[in-house]
Structure 1
């Protein structure tokens, strides 16, 4: 899929990554605008716009006489709530889930990386479109870890998936993340995610009834039970989708 990312968005990501990987640690002061622009090889107007966005998102603070400093507790980027996307995106009533595919598939590069799945593993894969007021709001791809992994790390999740799949109509009206959230009382879960600007492309555009060149946000998410990844997902939100808060405090 062809991707085009606005220079300011890409610059925002570069600086945010530098904050989170410790290049600019909490409490540190960023170089001056001229110096930082030279170091990053970008124009000062583009840098200034990216810095303003970083300030709005809580990563940076401007201190008179000091400059821009990295906040002591910068918020994590990404969709960190372990809550179904259809609820996160709703302003009131949750969006409706329409299942496009409920299948078992072999690992992809994405699931091998994030679920640590061996080459011949069998993974449950769900593809869904989320609808609200007649408009397709998001496309979700969700994968569960192999059954043997779930049996050891989160057996209630594996059992809940099997129970939902016994009724095709129920399975087509719920997301995997909703199943996970409902089965996780008593389980300590953590989530980590990333946010990327992209374009829908032909196939996703057709599924969401939007032009292929529609700008979109791609959210990747991995949920762990303890240290074991039990679910991974990709959520595609096109322009015009309901707002999703993507900055959550630790």
Structure 2
């Protein structure tokens, strides 16, 4: 059987998935530790000084608790039993022997020992890391001249702060798609009947047929040859 190689155009329809990322702004509340160190008046006896005013700078700190993901190695251990074997010499007392020449045989003795084996696995966990930022905040204070402003005891308190956070999410849709490509294929060759006409000679034979020829000449021209 013969085959003919030909090229055909194939059209394939499919659905293509398009993906993109968007972010939604959502409010969230987080706890913040706020601390500041106020200044206190330290005065001498009498308090008769003149009142003066000046600007001081208080130390104000804010501690945020940031969460982050961490992949860390964690050992996973288990106790299994391992068989340990060793070869011992066993005296063969039942075999006759000469004095000072005792027969021995080799014997394998095995014992099971507990063994602790550990594998390292990746564990996904969430960690909280405190991050503290401090700044100097100006403050105007007034006090007598015989008093001085000294840093007092640090004051701390917990506060809740509402912030906006961009939360990413993935969107997708299906889009129709046409894909055209050429592909080589083999087709079976078939025999098609076809009529062909040719001239042939049927019963050939010789025929004597006279031929008459016309000669044209000038009689005067012939006289030249006489």
Higher RCO structure (Cα 8 Å, ≥6 apart)? 2
The TM-score range, normalised by the shorter chain, is under 0.3
- Which structure features the higher share of helix residues? 1
Point out the structure with max Rg over C-alpha. 2
- Which structure features the higher share of strand residues? 2
The TM-score, its normalising length taken from structure 1, stands at: 0.16
